[in-house]
Amino acid sequence: FLCDNQHYGHECESECHCSSNKSCFLNSGWCPNGCDEGYIGETCNTVAKKEEKMSPIVYTTILAVGGGLIFAAAAIICYACCRRKKSKTLPVEE
């Protein structure tokens, strides 16, 4: 069989996934110029895992919740310190 420039292998059953729709080697499927986006491997036949990126909303939520927790913790610590300081400075009535 003589395969078109987008297929290779026995009876042209394998599809090329070369970058810029370039042709691959007809017998091996190797892409001399690398793989098309989303494919990896020696013959570019493995689908690459898509990196999942967090959306700006997720970042904003994480920052808001984290900032709120830090603020609350700081407020509690300040309150506790002020109460302790006041209890030490109060005059004792006899």
Domain count, the chain: 2
Q: pLDDT of 24-61, one tens digit each?
A: 988 889 999 999 999 999 899 899 887 667 788 888 99
Q: Are residues 60 and 19 in the same domain?
A: no
State whether 43 and 8 are in the same domain.
Answer: yes
Q: Which residues, 6 or more positions from 33, have their beta carbon under 8 angstroms from its beta carbon?
A: 18, 19, 20, 22
pLDDT exceeds cutoff 80 at 92: no
- Can you give the residue range of the structural domain that contains 74? 53-94
My answer on whether 35 and 60 are in the same domain is: no
How far apart are alpha carbons 80 and 28 in whole angstroms? 72
d(CA 70, CA 56): 21
pLDDT attached to residue 88: 64
- Could you tell me if 37 and 66 lie in one domain? no
Q: What is the pTM of this model?
A: 0.48
Task: List strand residue ranges (DSSP E) for 1-94, in order.
Answer: 7-8, 14-15, 39-40, 46-47
Mean pLDDT of 57-76: 94
Domain co-membership, 57 together with 87: yes
> Is it the case that residue 90 has pLDDT exceeding 70?
no
Question: Looking at the predicted structure, is the pLDDT value of residue 21 above 90?
Answer: no
